[in-house]
Amino acid sequence: MKPSLRNILIPFVILVVMGGAYFLLPHTENKREIPDVAQALVSTNTVRNTSLSNAPSPQAVIVPSKAERARMSREARLVLLEHLGHVPDDADTDDFSISEKTSWWGKRLDPNIFWSNRVVWLDESALDKATRYGRRWPPIPFGDTSCNDRNDKDRLGSGFDIQGGPSFYTVSSDREHAFWDYYGKTHPTPPADLARWQLSRASSWMRYADIFANDKALAAELRMSPNELEEGLQSNQSEASALGYPPECVSSNAFYWAHVMQRRDEYAQLVAKGEDATPLDFEHFFRKIYVNKKFITEPLHSEQLQSANAWKVAYLRRLRAQKTDESYINAYLQAWGLDAKAVFKEP
């Protein structure tokens, strides 16, 4: 028996009505839904948007691995980064360049959130974190009015690139640049920056001290005078004062032990290579040693370690006497492996 027209039309009408009801009834819509291609390339690394600016509101985001992101289309990757609210920790050059297209790139960061549980200084960690949000500098600490006379209007800075990849542009203001230049010269210096500056001066000064003491012919050829080493220290002390480095880190003893401790670390790394380290590697290494080799290859006794840390202890005691924020002192203690009770002779 053939179906009647009525039997054919009734199911069709029902489907139409149900479909229309779906669109008319209220329902939850995820307007930020990541495309299927992004969802299909997920890993177990789930994080929450940790926005420090006006980026998308915090929500759970599943972050594909670096290799998985590389296989995504630029469109899907853009949506993912828009949700995340910052460049991921394992970012490649494409993550940075694509992030420039997001709504959050270069927006001002909340200083209270940014500096929470963090020492306020311009170290590599703070700079890296700011860059991952598209900012050239970290936010100026809340309430600080320094450099208020400088222009605080945001503008694109010069381009950055990572390992020769595509350039990306961060945002900053003239005031931020002036502030961090001023702040670095008037506040304690991050331990890594301080060590880098001190070692570069110590290596040069120790080389000249070694020539003057052990190679009279070369010293005469270079026309080195007996006062040259002292004049070199005075020059370094002036530079340290101008740049905000502590005067305690510039002395013949401080330079001597900075050289020794750095070379001890390098020697330990060379020994750790085992058979991969050749006799030529050791020969080249010891050419850069300007002290007795035993101070590099043999264990140091307690009096020597005390001498090596003397300038650090003096600096920390001065900071405490000047009532410097304890966050700086604690950061130095941790970086230098010093015990607060021993440094400050606490009971």
Distance spanning both ends of the chain, measured CA to CA: 104
Contacts 24+ apart (CB under 8 A), 314-319: 314/248, 315/246, 315/248, 315/249, 316/343, 316/344, 317/343, 317/344, 318/246, 318/248, 319/188
CB-count burial class (<10 Å; 0-12, 13-18, 19+) for 226 = exposed
Tokens of 108: 């001002």
Domain boundaries of the chain, sorted by first residue: 36-186, 191-308
Q: Are strands 155-160 and 60-62 parallel, antiparallel or unpaired?
A: unpaired
Please write the tens of the pLDDT for every residue from 229-242.
Answer: 999 999 999 999 99
Return d(Cα 45, Cα 69) in angstroms, integer.
13
Query: What mean pLDDT do residues 321-331 have?
Result: 97
Provide the pLDDT confidence category of residue 175 given band limits of 50, 70 and 90: very high
Task: Find all residues with CB under 8 Å of 55, minimum gap 6, and list them.
Answer: 49, 85, 86, 102, 103, 104, 107, 133
Return d(Cα 14, Cα 214) in angstroms, integer.
102
Please write the tens of the pLDDT for every residue from 237-276.
Answer: 999 999 999 999 999 999 999 999 999 999 999 999 998 9
Tokens of 292: 């007795």
CA geometry: angle 226, 229, 232, nearest 5 deg? 135
Return d(Cα 1, Cα 4) in angstroms, integer.
9
SS3 60: strand
Please write the tens of the pLDDT for every residue from 10-68.
Answer: 444 444 444 444 334 444 333 333 444 444 334 434 444 445 654 444 456 788 999 99
